[in-house]
Structure 1
């Protein structure tokens, strides 16, 4: 089994996380991508990991408290902890529609995380499903969430969708749990890997050469990394 390499929020080692620049680069050089969806005050789906814009932009506050037009007053900022990051040419917080448009006419596999583990956005599941369908990318998308009720809502809206549960802690009887909730995989924190369920586990976030080699050599079905190019090189070397 070849490990699929997911660019975690694009490629933060080179471009600001969850930026159009990073997604465009991945569309041209990668094979799979992960990004996070949240809703603005006026129910527009935008791509950002944190519920607040403080860490990654020049603004402050919760995404849910701004309309899309208000959010576009702020710009994404280079992460001072990542000296290799380029200043974004497209500095505005991207919408889901803009990101999906980048991946049209590509074979990039997308993991869309519905970001509801801390704040629940009413209607986010249907909004996201509709956007993916309108873009004609349904066959290239896997949905995921930390929040089990969100996963149940997605399944109720469309039982055909592939969905993974993101987990930080060990789950007892994972195979039975997966079947009971109709999941296709677990996306799990690297510290709880057990080496027994390679075909249903994708660990995060795998960034060191040593970690990448270990995961790829073991044959895990996928991994999430901030530097997909390094991971793909290691996978090629191991072949």
Structure 2
């Protein structure tokens, strides 16, 4: 995969950088941290290698699923930042707390990935969320939980991010998230995903690059219906047969299957695939 020139970035918040440095140091000590895939320095403060605009994406693009969930604490700032530094697009999932605050976590419950809290994410207060930590996939130091605003403060506009508005979000919550993106002027630097066709259509109508997530079969909507909705990307399961992946490609969509174990698996995909999601973007 070709990489982009490093971009200059704004200064980071010292608290998040300090946590990232500690986690990276701990991982290096245990031999668990990945070597930089492109030879770039991944220490805090170095420049990002990931593109900062959707128009600058080079294909095939590697999407770091949940910030590299097999390498870093899932949906942590450490994982997002490390992914961006090494040229991968950080992907994250948006859920909502009891007060409506958008936060970054895949599951609709806390139990699998978080320490210190349990139960539905929608039942948690912001105070409980802030007090929780994210488990490390390799038994290393846990990481701090991340709100959507915190991630956008650190990465918004600096790298292309791939947020997913999770199933179960109301139309009002979809608009709420897009309003946040609007306020920050992020139309050029986001690929926004959803498994919900109406949400994916709304994302496109609001001027964002929309990725419609589907399953191991072709979507129930016709290709013309998807295209007419303004949706440019389709993200099928990796288990979708190659012949059907090719149909999506020939229909003019950017096709990015999910979720491959490592980038090594991504390199085995047909050359016409435009990208892929992986839990370990560093293993080639």
TM-score by length of 1: 0.82
Q: 2:126 aligns with which of 57, 68, 72?
A: 68
Aligned length: 219
Distance 1:173 1:37 in 2: 24
| Cα gap change, 1:104 to 1:179, in 2 (>3 Å) | closer
How far residue 150 of structure 1 moved from its aligned partner, in angstroms, is 2.1
Matched, 1:176 2:224: yes
Residue 27 of structure 1 corresponds to which residue in structure 2? Answer: 84
Distance 1:71 1:209 in 2: 32
| Greater shift in the superposed pair: 186-195 or 51-60 | 186-195
Residue 237 of structure 1 corresponds to which residue in structure 2? Answer: none
CA RMSD of aligned residues (A): 2.3
Residue 95 of structure 1 corresponds to which residue in structure 2? Answer: 147
Structure 2 stretches lacking a partner, 5+ long: 1-57
How far residue 211 of structure 1 moved from its aligned partner, in angstroms, is 2.6
Residue 56 of structure 1 corresponds to which residue in structure 2? Answer: 113
Any idea what SS the aligned residue of 1:127 has? Answer: helix
Any idea what SS the aligned residue of 1:189 has? Answer: coil
Residue 12 of structure 1 corresponds to which residue in structure 2? Answer: 69
Q: 1:211 aligns with which of 258, 265, 275?
A: 265
Distance 2:88 2:263 in 1: 19
Task: Indicate conservation of the 8 Å contact 1:4/1:221, yes or no.
Answer: yes
Distance 2:231 2:170 in 1: 22
How far residue 162 of structure 1 moved from its aligned partner, in angstroms, is 1.6
Between 1 and 2, higher relative CO (CA 8 Å, sep ≥ 6) is seen in 1
Cα deviation per residue 1:79-111 (whole Å; 9 max; x = unaligned)? 3xxx3x6423xx3320001111221462x2211
TM-score by length of 2: 0.70
Matched, 1:42 2:99: yes
Task: Indicate conservation of the 8 Å contact 2:201/2:230, yes or no.
Answer: no
Any idea what SS the aligned residue of 1:72 has? Answer: helix
Any idea what SS the aligned residue of 1:37 has? Answer: strand
Distance 2:221 2:171 in 1: 31
Q: 1:149 aligns with which of 162, 186, 198?
A: 198
Matched, 1:123 2:181: no
Task: Indicate conservation of the 8 Å contact 1:27/1:102, yes or no.
Answer: no
Cα deviation per residue 1:148-180 (whole Å; 9 max; x = unaligned)? 232244345x2x222121111323675323223
Cα deviation per residue 1:42-75 (whole Å; 9 max; x = unaligned)? 1111000000000001221111111212222322
Distance 1:50 1:226 in 2: 15
Residue 111 of structure 1 corresponds to which residue in structure 2? Answer: 162
Residue 32 of structure 2 corresponds to which residue in structure 1? Answer: none
Distance 1:174 1:60 in 2: 40
How far residue 115 of structure 1 moved from its aligned partner, in angstroms, is 0.5
| Greater shift in the superposed pair: 55-64 or 124-133 | 124-133
How far residue 120 of structure 1 moved from its aligned partner, in angstroms, is 3.0
Q: Which runs of 4+ in 1 moved over 3 A?
A: 152-156
Any idea what SS the aligned residue of 2:118 has? Answer: coil
How far residue 210 of structure 1 moved from its aligned partner, in angstroms, is 5.6
| Greater shift in the superposed pair: 67-76 or 137-146 | 67-76
